[in-house]
């Protein structure tokens, strides 16, 4: 059975004209990580497809999420009085996180090294990055947990949204300017979190119970760093780059409405999920935080991937993601108690969102692979012997 075609003919024509344009000004990335990745890529076989590297890195993050879900499903394991996550799990998490970060850094270099760069590679990379946000945040959450010295599940919900909006800002910039300005916070956070996992394995989660200084806990520092980085670095730089394009008359979209259109669906998703959290009859976020985060993060990734397709193909962003229509119905069923088993409703909807997103991703990859006459995970040509 043929997969539904999500990429229009207009968008396919736009992909044919696409040229990658990005700016990376982060000193850590320029002077430390890029030289390291340049060294690593030399050890990779030249037959290894860049998309396979990208996918492997993403699966390390999924593995971290599943591993911590097994040992800390409810985010209570780091609390006093609970059985803590084994030290080897934190060691594995640190190694897997750094491997994922490294593979995410070398996939593009492998593409240039093997002369196999295509728009599909960039879309595949950034599309998986958008989904990786929730796996990254939920796994880090297990370090502190939801106890008195940790972070409440509602607070973490809003922190997750800060991370999600920080991610989409870069692609909103590119939608308007045509240039992807790589955020500084990504490299710093990946290196830091990889080290924190390893430190946790060595000193135990009890270390994070103690205040850093006076009454300032590590969880407060964790929260402050994420929010401060988003609102003092990421957001101002995004606004600066877009305003600079406006002053130079180089923006791709002249009207304010068209320029802000990519934010509509993510904002509506935020509103819907927040309404469910606030008016949930069974306090669903307290009952099932991990599944709720997964649902929100996957729905966000689906919305973001559609924006990435539009900005890469130089086509207009659609105002409303169709996924939000059934989600509206689900939220209404939940808060009005028409569907009495709210946990079951959340599980069913999360499964639907995950399957819909996977179907969307497979469909888009298949379409672009056929369009460019390439294999997604092999450097061989489909028509070659």
- pLDDT for 185 beyond 60: yes
- pLDDT for 2 beyond 50: no
The conformational region for residue 178 under phi > 0 = left, psi -120 to 50 = alpha, else beta, is left
pLDDT at site 195: 95
pLDDT at site 226: 84
Q: What is the pLDDT of residues 102-156, one digit of tens each?
A: 999 999 999 999 999 999 999 999 999 999 999 999 999 999 998 877 899 999 9
Query: What value, to the nearest 5°, has the Cα angle with vertex 134 and ends 220 and 224?
Result: 15
> Mean pLDDT, to the nearest integer, of 227-240?
85
Q: For residues 125 and 53, what is the distance between their CA atoms, to the nearest angstrom? A: 10
Question: Tokens for 216?
Answer: 């300032």
> Mean pLDDT, to the nearest integer, of 298-316?
95
pLDDT-based confidence at residue 1 (cuts at 50, 70, 90): very low
- pLDDT for 288 beyond 50: yes
> Mean pLDDT, to the nearest integer, of 201-218?
85
The conformational region for residue 287 under phi > 0 = left, psi -120 to 50 = alpha, else beta, is alpha
Q: For residues 134 and 159, what is the distance between their CA atoms, to the nearest angstrom? A: 11
The conformational region for residue 367 under phi > 0 = left, psi -120 to 50 = alpha, else beta, is alpha
Q: What is the pLDDT of residues 344-353, one digit of tens each?
A: 999 999 999 9
Give Cα 189 distance to the centre of its chain. Answer: 13
Are 62 and 118 in contact by the 8 Å Cβ rule? The answer is: no
Delineate the domains of the chain, giving CATH numbers in brackets.
19-372 (1.20.120.1760)
Are 94 and 194 in contact by the 8 Å Cβ rule? The answer is: yes
244 against 279, higher pLDDT: 279
- pLDDT for 334 beyond 70: yes
- The four Cα atoms 121, 24, 65, 60 give a dihedral, to 10 degrees, of 50
Give the residue ranges of DSSP H helices in the chain.
9-16, 27-28, 34-41, 50-71, 87-113, 119-144, 153-177, 184-203, 218-229, 235-247, 256-260, 264-279, 284-287, 289-313, 324-335, 342-372
Q: For residues 6 and 3, what is the distance between their CA atoms, to the nearest angstrom? A: 9
Q: For residues 282 and 288, what is the distance between their CA atoms, to the nearest angstrom? A: 10
pLDDT-based confidence at residue 384 (cuts at 50, 70, 90): low
pLDDT at site 343: 97
Q: For residues 376 and 329, what is the distance between their CA atoms, to the nearest angstrom? A: 36
């Amino acid at each position: 059975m043929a997969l539904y075609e999500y990429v229009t003919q207009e968008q396919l024509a736009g992909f044919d004209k696409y040229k990658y344009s990005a700016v990376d000004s982060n000193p850590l990335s320029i002077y430390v990580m890029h030289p390291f990745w340049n060294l690593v890529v030399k050890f990779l076989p030249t037959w290894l497809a860049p998309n396979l590297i990208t996918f492997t890195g993403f699966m390390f993050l999924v593995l971290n999420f599943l591993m911590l879900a097994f040992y800390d499903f409810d985010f209570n394991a780091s609390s006093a009085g609970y059985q803590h996550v084994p030290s080897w799990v934190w060691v594995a998490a640190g190694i897997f996180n750094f491997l994922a970060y490294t593979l995410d850094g070398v996939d593009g270099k492998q593409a240039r090294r093997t002369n196999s760069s295509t728009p599909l590679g960039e879309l595949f990379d950034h599309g998986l990055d958008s989904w990786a946000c929730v796996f990254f945040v939920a796994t880090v959450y297990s370090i502190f947990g939801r106890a008195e010295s940790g972070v409440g599940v509602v607070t973490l919900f809003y922190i997750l949204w800060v991370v999600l909006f920080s991610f989409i800002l870069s692609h909103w910039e590119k939608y308007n300017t045509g240039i992807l300005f790589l955020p500084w916070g990504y490299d710093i956070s990946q290196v830091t979190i990889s080290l924190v996992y390893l430190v946790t394995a060595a000193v135990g989660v009890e270390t994070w119970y103690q205040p850093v200084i006076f009454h300032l806990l590590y969880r407060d520092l964790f929260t402050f760093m994420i929010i401060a980085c988003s609102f003092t670095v990421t957001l101002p730089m995004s606004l600066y780059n877009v305003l600079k394009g406006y002053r130079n008359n180089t923006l791709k979209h002249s009207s304010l409405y068209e320029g802000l259109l990519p934010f509509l669906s993510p904002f509506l998703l935020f509103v819907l999920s927040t309404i469910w959290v606030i008016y949930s009859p069974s306090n669903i976020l307290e009952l099932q935080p991990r599944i709720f985060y997964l649902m929100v993060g996957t729905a966000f990734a689906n919305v973001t991937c559609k924006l990435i397709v539009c900005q890469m193909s130089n086509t207009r962003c659609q105002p409303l993601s169709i996924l939000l229509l059934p989600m509206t119905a689900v939220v209404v069923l939940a808060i009005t108690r028409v569907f009495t088993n709210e946990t079951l409703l959340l599980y069913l909807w999360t499964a639907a969102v995950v399957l819909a997103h996977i179907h969307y991703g497979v469909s888009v990859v298949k379409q672009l692979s056929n369009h460019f006459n390439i294999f997604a995970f092999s450097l061989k040509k489909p028509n070659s012997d």
